[in-house]
Amino acid sequence: MAELGGLSGGFSVAGLSVEQYLRLLAGADPVPGGGCAAAVAGAQGAALVAMVARLAHRRADQEAWAARLEQAVQAAEERCRRLRALADEDAEAYHQVMRAYRLPRTTDREREVRGEAVRQALARAAEVPLNVAETAVQALEVLVELLPAVPSSALPDAAVAGWLLRACVEGCAVNVRANWQAMRKAPGEGPHQLEALLGRSRRLFDELRSHLGALANGGVLPAGV
C-alpha cells in the first residue's frame, strides 16, 4: 500500500489500525469519507452479531437452536468480511469519480469521452453503497432471527449491533441518492431497490426495539430481571 489515503489510491481499511483509520477519517482528504465510514459501521455491527450469536450458543439448551446459532455466526462473519471489503471498494469508487472529472475536455471528442467516464464512475459510486446497504440488511436479518436465544446479558450488544447496522443503511442511502443526483438520473430499478432496503431495515430494527423493551425504549428493567 503506497499511501494510507489520498486521491492516488491505495486505501485499505484492513491495513489500518483503529488510530490510523480515525486520523484519516478526521483529515481533510475525502478518502476515507462517509461512504467508507458507513461500511465500517456495518462491519462492526455484523461483527457484534457474530459475538452475540456465540454468546447465545453457549447457553443453547436445544440442539436445533445450537445448529441455528452456528449458522448465524458464519453468516454474520461472512457479512462482516463483505462489508470490510466494500469499504475499500467505496474508496476506490471515489477515486474513479475524481479521475473521470479530471479528464481533459478541450475538444468535442474529449468532452464525450469524459462525460461517459463520469457517468460510469458515478454509477459505480452509487452501486457500492447500495451493495453495502443490502449486506447490512442481511446482517440485521441474522440478528433478529437469533434474538429469542440471546441471553439478557448480551442484549445491550445486540442493541448496539442493530444501531450500527441501521446507521450503515441510512448513511448508504444518502450516498446512493447523492451519486444519482450527480448523474441527473437514477438507473432502472435502483430507487425501488433502495426504498425496499430501507423499508426492510426499518422493520427489522423495529422488531429489535420491540424485543429489547425498556432497554431500547426508555426506563429500566424491573429488579431481578
8-state DSSP, 223: T
Is residue 5 pLDDT above 70, yes or no? no
Is residue 196 pLDDT above 60, yes or no? yes
Q: What is the pLDDT of residues 115-141, one digit of tens each?
A: 999 999 999 999 999 999 999 999 999
Q: The pTM is what?
A: 0.90
- At residue 225, the pLDDT reads 42
Closest CA to 141 of 204, 207, 66: 204
Q: What is the pLDDT of residues 47-78, one digit of tens each?
A: 999 999 999 988 766 677 788 899 999 999 99
Closest CA to 96 of 69, 76, 116: 116
Rounded CA gap, 58 and 54, in Å? Answer: 7
What are the residues whose beta carbons fall under 8 Å from the beta carbon of 12, sequence distance 6 or more?
1, 88
Distances (CA, A) of 2 to 8, 11, 28, 85, 175: 9, 8, 19, 18, 27
Rounded CA gap, 9 and 1, in Å? Answer: 9
Average pLDDT of every residue of the chain: 89
- At residue 67, the pLDDT reads 87
Rounded CA gap, 189 and 50, in Å? Answer: 32
